[in-house]
Structures are given as C-alpha cells and as structure tokens.
Homo-oligomer: A and B are copies of this chain.
Amino acid sequence: MDVWHRERQSKGADLMIRIEKVLHSVQSEYQKIEVFETETFGRVLVIDGYLMLTEKDEFIYHEMIVHVPMSVLRDPKRALVIGGGDGGTVRELVRHGCLERIDFVEIDGEVIETSKRFFPSVASGMGDPRVTTHIADGVEFVAESKDGYDLIIVDSTDPFVGPGEGLFTEAFYGDCASILNEGGILVNQHESPYYGENAEIARKTHLKLRRVFPVCTVYQAFIPTYPSGHWLFGFASKGTDPLSDPVPGRMDGIATRYFNEDVRKASFALPNYVRSLLE
C-alpha cells in the first residue's frame, strides 16, 4: 500500500507526496522532525507536518534568500542567520569570500543534526571556519547582541510551525534593526501572497517591517513545493536600495541554478494583486 505525506496548503487544498521510505522521525524539544525518501523530490525534510525542503528544489529558496541581498551589499563582512537549521542558507553564504564571520543561530539542535546526517550537501557549509553555530533562541540572541551585522537573514518556519512565531514580531524586527550596520539588509522568509492564511501573514509581516525600516519591499521566487509555488522574501534595509546595481564581481565564480542578475531584478516585479495586498 502506498504511503503519502499529505499537507494542507489551504482550506480544501492539499498536496500529497508519496513516500518511498521513512528515513527519520524524531520529536525534538520543539517540534516533530521527519525525513522521507521520495521518487520525484529526493529526500524531503518535514517539520510538524509541513514540508521544509526537498532535494529537488531547495536550491531555489537558498540561492534567492542569500544572493539577492549579497548582490547589492557594498562591503559585507558579517552575516547573521536566524533559523535555517538545515544549513542551506549558510552553504550559500560561505561561497562569498568577502564575508569574514557568519553567526548561525538555530534554536533546535536536532534540525542541524538531522540535516548533517540526511542532507549532507545542504549542511555542507556549517564546517566553514568563518561560521559560528549557536544553539539558541534567535529572538533572545538578537535582543542581547551588541554586534554590528551587514546582513541578517531570518530563515524561519511559518509562524504557526514550531518555534517560528517570535520571528514575526515588530519587537524582533526592531532588535534586528538595532544590530544592523548602516546600509545593512534584513531578508526574511515572507510567506506567500496567494492562499488566504499565508497572504494575511505576508501582509502583516510587511506592515511590521515597514514600521521599522525606511526601505522595505518583497521579492518572489517560484518554489513549487511551498503552498501555491509563489513564495515571497522580505527585503528591508536602512538605506540600501534593492534595485541598486549589483556590486561588480560579487557573483564571480559562484555558479547558480536559479539565481542570475536578470532574475534578481525581476524578482521585485510584483503582480498587481500582490502590490495591493501589501499596501
């Protein structure tokens, strides 16, 4: 008998993915973590029943959350990653030789261990000597930090999954702003504009960020295994324009499968209904 992962994407809209084999299933202190082997998507990571990444398309999310801000940051040296325990965001960051230090803050060490064991190619950047891993609450880490960062990436789950909720508050964004250097950028996982539940979170998240940052917009990517496939990232800064010209040479030697300079600029072109949602 076939076994399927069934995920509610919206009211009366479910995605089903057939599981060839359950490779891992553990209840951590924070959430249920599962790894399935599938035919079409390769291995998939599921947290509290929600698909977090698949081997087939994780490159899209991770390239877009990293290389879009990195393309326009003038002289980035320090980056902070909150969440993203799978390591995909860190993997893309360490490809940038200009970064001198990356603080990687994940609340749930089990996610990191799971990724190292079952997704070694995703977790491959964690061992880079510039990376310091902190098993800690991102909200507290940011509130207590005095460091100055050029880039903060909030690679969270949905606010209704596991411990993601605190990463969607105005207080948290304010704390992030206070440790961002001049010209620094905050990028975050920003939900989808399509299904009502996601769209409402996207709208509220944008309003909160807008109250904190003078420059604030969203950009988008085709991520087929997330609900609706139309996924948003928030881009907030103290001054850096998302549509600035790219820094010459920044992507030299970094081969990508989704990202390119045309895609970067295009990702900020929002359909009218998305513009309306965010107004």
Using a CB–CB distance below 8 Å, which chain A residues touch chain B?
4, 6, 10-18, 20, 38-41, 57, 60, 194-196, 220, 222, 224, 228-230, 256-260, 262-263, 265-273, 275
Contact = CB atoms under 8 A, between A and B. Distances in A.
Contacts of A12: 17-18, 20, 38-40
Contacts of A265: 266, 269
| Tally of this chain's copies | 2
Given A257-B272, A263-B271, A222 B224 contact: no
A26 to B, nearest CB: 24
A4 B224 CA distance: 21
Contacts of A266: 265-269
A257 B228 contact: no
B224 A230 contact: yes
Nearest to A256: B272
Which of A10, A18, A20, A229 has the most B CB atoms < 10 Å from its CB? A229
Contact of A16 (B16, B38, B195, B256): B16
Given A229-B228, A259-B272, A265-B269, A13 B16 contact: yes
A40 to B, nearest CB: 5
Contacts of A60: 271
A231 to B, nearest CB: 9
A41 B272 CA distance: 19
Nearest to A226: B229
A251 B178 CA distance: 44
Contacts of A275: 260
Contacts of A195: 40, 224
Nearest to A16: B14
